[in-house]
Structure formats: structure tokens, C-alpha cells
Chains A and B, each alone.
Chain A
Amino acid sequence: MKKRNLILLFLAVAMVFSLFGCGGGKGGGDKDTIVFGGSRSITGVYAFFEQSAYGPIYKMWVDDVNAAGGLYVKEYDKNMKIELKVYDDTSDLSTMTRNLEKAIVEDQVDFILPPVSTAFLYAAAPIANKYGKVLIGAEGGSATLKESIAQYPYFFSSLNFSDTQAPALVEILQDHGIQSAYVVFIEDLHGTEYSGALIPALANAGIAVNGVKSVPADIQDMTSIVQDAQASGSDAFLCLTYPDQGYLALNQSIALKYNPKIWFMGSGGGFSSTLDIYGDQAEGIMSWGAWNPKSGQAAAEYFDHFKDFWKDDPNVCYDYWGLIPYYAGLQCLQQAIEGAGTLDNEKIQEYLVNNHFQTVLGDTWFENNMIAPDCFLGNVGQWQNGVFEVIDRTDKATSEPIVPKPEWP
């Protein structure tokens, strides 16, 4: 008994004392690199995004900057290369918040990378703001964040959302005489927000909403929903989900030969994986986005560069929604660092708010800390002959919409 207690005492006291010896931040000394750190979902349910969405973009951007000799920072009067220090949050929010604080307070990184998904971005924004670190969001974010932007001036968003995309889609439906729609949305922040923006817009445009169904992320069978949509006789099937659920609905639509005039798939519909999986059957599918190499010279050059950079990685796909604004967001930050001549996040935040930047989107600027709607190359796209064409009712369109969509081959 006595020895047992002594062992316990030794173990416990040693553990607590070891905490007092935990190392602090780096701090001080000559600085040669700019450290970007943070928490990404390298494993877990969101790992797909690190592999196929923002992950390939920020890695390519770091390589691009370093290959060009780094960023010139006037404060240090030298070119500084970028170093990455990224932790895995295993797609768990509490781990993400802890990792982010570890990167900021222990590693003392100069800039932080955004975490994956809307919910994680919501949690990261107050942390970034508290520590005065600029955070340019990537995957996720939402128009409702606009309401909170005033509270979190250090948070910036690089993606276009429901507030511009839903009206653009409704315009297309109106232009092609769509009378009715059936809406399916995923039970998460993304689905809630998009359905919340789209359903009233449809009603205002005089388009009848014949059915609204919410689905959980782990849904395995959408047959009954697709059958219900088919029975409703709706002109448009609007599936506001992620790739997993969208592909499931698509499979079942093809199997049931349900071919409405408009088949719209939410997030993931504009990924090149849709074309890879469905081939000719993808023809006419619409989705959010949008851009393609025909959107302009900068977009074409960026597309070629991305293709060349990731040619050996079969997992990387082309996201015709986020792939270009994500890179543009990083270019804005890059130009803000060089323009402000410092790594001081407060000055860089001011610079981002008050300046225009030349990016792969062209002239780019922030309005209410979100890339201005006019900067985006499109809001809605459609697969046409293997190209994800921009079909908005604007001069940025690269093709006219094909309505009704062709029969399933």
C-alpha cells in the first residue's frame, strides 16, 4: 500500500511539474521566414476538402511564392520565404480551436490558415479576432456571416455565397419559363442557408415550390425523395447538398429516368469529379460556381498552372467554384503583406480593407470583408460538352444555358 501510494505520488507530481517546463513560443531572434499555420482537417470526415479543395491551392501558392524568392517585407528589408506549420484537427471542432490557439500563442505564427467548413470558420473567426490575426476564409462561410462581420474585422471571406448565387439561379429559371421546383437541402448550415435564400426567391419570382425535403449528411438512399420529386411534376429539381448526397440523388434520378428541365446540384456539382464519374450523363447538370478557362486570360493561365502543378496527383480535382477565389484570397494577402511592408496583422487588415488587388479574378477588392460580388467570374455553371460553362445572365457568361437539359444518355 505504501509503495503503491508513493508511485502514484511520484507519477502525478512528475506530470504536473513537467507542465511547468512546457516550452513557450519561438519569439525573438532574426526572422527569415513568414510562418503560416493553423488547423486543417487532414483526417476525418472533412479530409476530402484538404485533399481536393483549399488544400491543393494553399500548397501551390506557397510553392509559387517561394519559387519566386519569397515575399519582400520592407520592415525586414529582405525577401522572406513562407513556411507552413499545419496541424490536423481530425475534423473535430474542439481540436481545431485548440490547434488554432496553439499555432497563435505557442508557435507564434505570423498568419493563420482557415479551417475547413462553415461551422469551423464560425468558430475560428472570434479566435482570429481576439488575437488580432487576419483570417481569410476558404471552404465554407456563409452570407449570414455578414451580420457578424462587424464584430470580427479580422475575418475575410473569399467565396461567393447564397446572397448572390440564389438570385442568379432564379433569374435563369425565370428566363427559361420554369414554373415549379422541388427543393432538397442538406441539414447543415450550408443547406439551411441556401434553402433559406432560394425558397423565398423562388416564391417572389412566381415559381411554385412543389416540395421541400431536408436530408441528413449520412443519408444512404434518396429513392423515395427522387420519386416524390418525379411525382410532383416539377420543372426543376434543386438539390442543395454536398457531393455525397448530390451524387446519390443523381444516381437515383438516372435509374428512375427522372429528367426534369433543370437538374441542379449544390456544392460539388462543379467539381471535375462530376464529369469524371458521370461522363455524358453530366451534360446539362447545373451547379454553383462558376468559372472556366474561357473566363479570361488570367483564369486560363491559372488553370494551366494548376493543371501542371498537380498533374501527378490523381486525387486533386478541379473545383469550378472555389478554386479561383481561394487563390485570389491568398494573392490579396500576399499583396497586402508586400504593400504594407510588415507582418503586423493590424496594418495588413487595414490594407486589405482599403485597397484593390490584382489577382487571378482580375481587379479584386473586399466589401464588408467579403470579396465584392462584382469580382467573381460567375455564380451558376452548367456542364456543356465537358466544360463547366458560366451561364449567369451577365456579360461574364461563357455560354447560354441549355434548358431543358438533354435526356440521360
Chain B
Amino acid sequence: MKLLRAYREKPVRAVPAAAVVLILILLGLLPGMTPPYTTIMVGSVLMYIILSLCWNMFSGATGYISLATAAFFGLGVYASAFLGGTLPLPALMLVGGAAASVLAFLIGLITLRLRGVYFTIFTLGIVKLLEQLILYLEIHFNNTRGRFVVSHSYTEVFYALYVLLILLLAAILIIRRSRFGKALICIAEGEDAAQHIGINATMVKVLAFTISAFAMGAAGAAMATRWSYIDPYIAFNANYSFLPVLMVIFGGSRYLPGPIIGAAIFAYLQELLTTRFPYIYMLAMGLIMIAAILFMPRGILGLIYDGVRKIHKRKEAKADDGS
């Protein structure tokens, strides 16, 4: 009803909202209407979309480059490994998300006074620290390295990630329109200036970091149930820190759909290249990234928008010439 009312009042602005609703409905129908592997593959794409959106929610907004994604994701993975047999999937995701948020809050309090490369290196160090700490504890106290994880069906995991994505998108939209969201943008534009106008920059950053970590941990908890077996190297794989950054760069960090499009295309390309061209996968991905950084500094969306703008200007110039 709200959409209809919006369409009557502002038809142009209602189009993207309707598109989002349509896409989400279609995605929700996917498991029942497509072959099982499509659901499995899209589930994996949803995971990357969530990680990319979360990364962009904090790093894209504030300009602080965090590489702690794998740490938050890995904590979620371990939540499932420890509690998989006792809790249902939504509860596992809540526990995984909460654990990641607590860690993010603590890291944020300690480190978000740091700026630039110091913060980035620290966040990457956290990933290695957790990996090695859990490895040490497992080997020396449990005489094992890895753990079996109680598995859930691909449909369950798909819907868990699907609901998480919807909640995350809603949270991002609410934050973007709130004073909190505007404070984040202010910090990115100039942290000192933001503080001068009364924004508690550290607390705003810590909160944004904590909120974004929640969905990362929840996604880790859900995905672990598809892997059946995990160990610290698997859970805290640094790829989960780097890939979302690349996906956001590829899609365009300035736009809300950027991380979504970047993650979807990137994950699909990954799937296509590893299954069809295994020997050139890394080479092709490397070339794609170099090309993206050289020729698409604002991502694929920036490139598309620039193209549209140029066409529009050319048309306007022609129209002016004609008149």
C-alpha cells in the first residue's frame, strides 16, 4: 500500500523501490523454482553480498579500511561449530552475530582512535591473532585442529541469508537517513571538522563497526553449516577480508547498489572461471581487478552512470544546437 501511495505521489522515485521488492520476491522464490545448484550458488553470492554491504557500511562510509571481516565471519563460523548441535540456525546466527559485535566493539574502542594504515594493519592482525589463538587452544586443550559442524540444508541456509540480507538492507537504509548516518558521512569528509561540530567521532565509528560486524558474524554462522567441517585456517581465511573489499571497489563504494552488484558479478565470475577455466582463474581475476582499478575508479556503477551522463549531455548539446 505504501508503495502504491509512493507511486501516486512520486512515480520516478517509487520505481527503484518497486524493483528492489520485485527482486527480493523473485529471489525468495528461487529455491522452489530452480535447480538445487542454483540455490547453492546464489546462497554463496548472498554471503558475499552481505559481507560487502557490511564492509561498505563502515569502511565505505567512514573511509577507515578494515580488514577484520574474516575475524567477525570466523567467530560466527566457530559459534556454529561449538553450538551447532544445540541451537537452531537462527539462534546460531544471533550468537555468531553477537560474538562478532562484542569483538568489534572491543577492537573499535581500542583502535578507532588510530587512523589510516595503522588501523588497517591492526584489523588484519586481529584475523591472524584469532586464527592462531584458536589453533593453539584446539591443539593444546582439545587435541584436535578442526571440528565437525552440524549441517543444515542448502534451502535453510539460503533463506537464513536471504532474511539476513533483507534486515541488513533495511538497517542500511535507516542508518543512511538517520543523524547517525549523516555523522558517519561527516567523519569521512573530515573527522576533525566533525568533532568540532559536536560529533563524538570515536563512538559513532565504534557503533558503526559493531553494527556491521553483527551481520558478518551471522553470515559466518549460517555458512559454516554448509561446510560440515572447519578449522581455524578455514574459518579465518584472509580471503574473507580481502574479497569484500575488491567486490566493493568493483561495484562502486559510493552507491548503495555498488557492493551488491560488485559482489554478485564478482562471485559469479569466480564461479564461472574456477569451473570452466581453472588454470587461468587467478590470472583472469587479477587482470579484471587491475582493469577495474585503472578504468573504473568509481566501480562498474560509476562507469555506467558516467556513460549515461555523457549520452544525456550529448543529447542536450544536440538539442541546444538544433534550437
| Closest beta carbon of chain B to A52's beta carbon, Å | 17
Residues A9 and B19 in contact in the complex (CB < 8 Å), given A19-B30, A43-B278, A187-B139: yes
CB-defined contacts of B113 to chain A, threshold 8 Å: none
The answer to whether B176 has its CB under 8 Å from any CB of chain A is no
Interface residues on A, range: 35 or more
Bound-state Cα–Cα, A98 to B229, Å: 13
Residues A106 and B23 in contact in the complex (CB < 8 Å), given A7-B308, A19-B30: no
Among B228, B234, B237, B239, point to the contact of A125 (Cβ < 8 A): B228
Selected interface stretch from A188-196, A283-291, A359-367, A388-396: A188-196
State whether B35 touches A119 (Cβ < 8 A). Answer: no
Whose C-beta in chain A lies nearest to the C-beta of B142? A192
CB-defined contacts of A15 to chain B, threshold 8 Å: 264
| Closest beta carbon of chain A to B192's beta carbon, Å | 33
Whose C-beta in chain A lies nearest to the C-beta of B264? A15
Among B40, B228, B305, B312, point to the contact of A98 (Cβ < 8 A): B40
The answer to whether A23 has its CB under 8 Å from any CB of chain B is yes
The answer to whether A93 has its CB under 8 Å from any CB of chain B is yes
State whether B264 touches A192 (Cβ < 8 A). Answer: no
Bound-state Cα–Cα, A22 to B23, Å: 17
The answer to whether B146 has its CB under 8 Å from any CB of chain A is yes
CB-defined contacts of A90 to chain B, threshold 8 Å: 274, 278, 281-282
CB-defined contacts of A122 to chain B, threshold 8 Å: 146, 148, 228-229
Bound-state Cα–Cα, A214 to B137, Å: 13
The answer to whether B266 has its CB under 8 Å from any CB of chain A is no
State whether A13 touches B23 (Cβ < 8 A). Answer: yes
| Closest beta carbon of chain A to B42's beta carbon, Å | 6
A 1-29 contacts with B by CB, 8 A: 1-9, 11-13, 15-17, 19-20, 22-25
Among B26, B227, B261, B279, point to the contact of A93 (Cβ < 8 A): B227
CB-defined contacts of B228 to chain A, threshold 8 Å: 97, 122-127
Bound-state Cα–Cα, A116 to B128, Å: 24
Bound-state Cα–Cα, A188 to B274, Å: 26
CB-defined contacts of A98 to chain B, threshold 8 Å: 40-41, 44, 271
The answer to whether B80 has its CB under 8 Å from any CB of chain A is no
Main secondary structure of the interface of A (DSSP, over half): helix
| Closest beta carbon of chain A to B153's beta carbon, Å | 9
In the complex, per-residue mask of B260-281: 1 if CB is within 8 Å of any chain A CB, else 0: 0100100000010011001101
| Closest beta carbon of chain A to B208's beta carbon, Å | 25
Among A7, A16, A89, A93, point to the contact of B274 (Cβ < 8 A): A89
CB-defined contacts of B274 to chain A, threshold 8 Å: 87-90, 95, 99
Number of interface residues of B (CB under 8 A): 55
In the complex, per-residue mask of B149-163: 1 if CB is within 8 Å of any chain A CB, else 0: 001001000000000
In the complex, per-residue mask of A98-111: 1 if CB is within 8 Å of any chain B CB, else 0: 11011001100000
Bound-state Cα–Cα, A2 to B16, Å: 9
In the complex, per-residue mask of B20-61: 1 if CB is within 8 Å of any chain A CB, else 0: 001100110010011111101110100000000000000000
Bound-state Cα–Cα, A122 to B16, Å: 45
Whose C-beta in chain A lies nearest to the C-beta of B26? A16
CB-defined contacts of A297 to chain B, threshold 8 Å: none
Whose C-beta in chain A lies nearest to the C-beta of B260? A12
State whether B234 touches A93 (Cβ < 8 A). Answer: yes
Bound-state Cα–Cα, A144 to B143, Å: 11
Residues A13 and B22 in contact in the complex (CB < 8 Å), given A122-B148, A189-B144: yes
Bound-state Cα–Cα, A69 to B304, Å: 55
State whether A106 touches B35 (Cβ < 8 A). Answer: yes
Bound-state Cα–Cα, A52 to B24, Å: 47
State whether A123 touches B229 (Cβ < 8 A). Answer: yes
| Closest beta carbon of chain A to B253's beta carbon, Å | 16
| Closest beta carbon of chain A to B310's beta carbon, Å | 12
Bound-state Cα–Cα, A87 to B281, Å: 12
State whether A189 touches B37 (Cβ < 8 A). Answer: no
| Closest beta carbon of chain B to A88's beta carbon, Å | 3
The answer to whether A94 has its CB under 8 Å from any CB of chain B is yes
CB-defined contacts of A101 to chain B, threshold 8 Å: 36-37, 40, 154
CB-defined contacts of A23 to chain B, threshold 8 Å: 35
Among A1, A7, A43, A124, point to the contact of B12 (Cβ < 8 A): A1
A 133-175 contacts with B by CB, 8 A: 144, 148
The answer to whether B254 has its CB under 8 Å from any CB of chain A is no
Bound-state Cα–Cα, A127 to B228, Å: 8
The answer to whether A240 has its CB under 8 Å from any CB of chain B is no
Greatest chain B CB density within 10 A among A7, A19, A148 is at A19
Whose C-beta in chain A lies nearest to the C-beta of B278? A88
Residues A5 and B30 in contact in the complex (CB < 8 Å), given A42-B279, A122-B229: no
State whether B151 touches A130 (Cβ < 8 A). Answer: yes
Among B22, B36, B38, B275, point to the contact of A99 (Cβ < 8 A): B275
Residues A105 and B223 in contact in the complex (CB < 8 Å), given A12-B19, A99-B275: no
State whether A4 touches B275 (Cβ < 8 A). Answer: no
Greatest chain A CB density within 10 A among B148, B226, B228 is at B228
Among A22, A192, A214, point to the contact of B34 (Cβ < 8 A): A22
Bound-state Cα–Cα, A20 to B264, Å: 15
| Closest beta carbon of chain A to B151's beta carbon, Å | 6
The answer to whether A83 has its CB under 8 Å from any CB of chain B is no
A 63-97 contacts with B by CB, 8 A: 87-90, 92-95, 97
The answer to whether B63 has its CB under 8 Å from any CB of chain A is no
State whether A105 touches B145 (Cβ < 8 A). Answer: no
State whether B227 touches A9 (Cβ < 8 A). Answer: no
State whether A189 touches B278 (Cβ < 8 A). Answer: no
Among B230, B239, B275, B304, point to the contact of A7 (Cβ < 8 A): B304
State whether A102 touches B275 (Cβ < 8 A). Answer: yes
The answer to whether B15 has its CB under 8 Å from any CB of chain A is yes
CB-defined contacts of A24 to chain B, threshold 8 Å: 35
| Closest beta carbon of chain B to A125's beta carbon, Å | 7
| Closest beta carbon of chain A to B266's beta carbon, Å | 13
- Contacts A12-B23, A101-B37, A102-B41 aside, 9 further interface pairs with beta carbons under 8 A come to A4-B305, A16-B27, A19-B30, A87-B278, A97-B226, A97-B228, A99-B275, A127-B228, A187-B139
9 residue pairs from A and B, CB less than 8 Å apart: A2-B12, A3-B308, A5-B12, A5-B19, A11-B261, A43-B279, A102-B40, A105-B40, A196-B143
Closest 7 CB pairs of A and B: A88-B278, A122-B229, A106-B37, A24-B35, A123-B229, A9-B19, A126-B228
